[in-house]
Structure 1
Amino acid sequence: MSMTNQYELTPQQENFAQEVVSGETLSDAYRASYKTARMTAKQIHEEASRLAANPKVATRLRAMQATAAEIATLKAADILREVKALALADIGGIMNEDGQLKLLHELPPELRRAVASFEVDKDGVVKYRFWNKLDALEKAMKHLGLYEKDNDQQANPLRELLDSLGGAVIGVSSGKSRKTGER
């Protein structure tokens, strides 16, 4: 009798599920999980479909896909949060009240995100370099579709010409006579 994991799947079933969630087709996932040398492509496809429909395997697939979607969503949200932090960063907080630059550990987290690098030279002078704010704003604008809205507002000379003709356009001539097909 085969050993099963906590999801009551055999090692081959678990591997099949892992392969499917990683983006493989059912047939390729089946090939990666089982011995298929003597099977036709049709047989592999049928067995893979049957295996994917197995209630335990299907439950495992749904759970793994939900986890993968959650991770992907969190990563996208994290990236957008970082772009937002860079786009809205106010570097005014790098100074102490006495006019001295703060050290990196003294900066608030939202300001530290904007720091690309910093150095303290041999004389103790602190130098900061910040991420490019315009790049962050451009990425945010692309994400929000603001360029598309801007493009829709631009003049389109061809559209304006066609609109001014009020539908009085007959068609484009190919240079051929309609009756004979000759020029």
Structure 2
Amino acid sequence: MTAKQERFVQEYLLDLNATRAARASGYSERTAESQGSRMLRNVKVLEAVAAAQKARAERVEVKADDVLRELLLIARTDIGDAFSPTGALLPLKEMPAHLRRAISSIEVEQLTVEGEAIGTVAKVKLWDKPKSLELLGKHLRLFVDKVETTVQFSHEDALGELE
């Protein structure tokens, strides 16, 4: 592989954006999109990307099943599990582990009237459920675009190809 191709592979692995990776590898703004696309059709580049991704997954011990389980966990999480029957936010230690992994952020605000605390408001934000469902659906091929084409090819066309 050339030095540019190796650099492209390293850059591409950062965010899987071929145009940006081509720019960072030394291609011009004007040609980056086409060069990035061309790089992703190069067998040696594709093999290097696949090998690097496999090595990374082994290093961090991430398997496809782990990713799918986390997406499913996010998709199935019920925000109600974060609160007690009285509506108070549960302490993190009391929340089930699956719920804690699905939480993106928690904000707790003290309500006051004339300087006196009268209560709290808890805002719990979960990771993006629709995005998790979309990714799971794509993995399960639930959202496959179907394209129908009709090709007409006559005997004359076939004979013309032979000449």
Taking structure 1 as the reference length, what is the TM-score of the superposition? 0.42
Structure having the larger proportion of residues in strand? 2
Taking structure 2 as the reference length, what is the TM-score of the superposition? 0.47
Q: Looking at CA atoms only, which structure, 1 or 2, has the larger radius of gyration?
A: 1
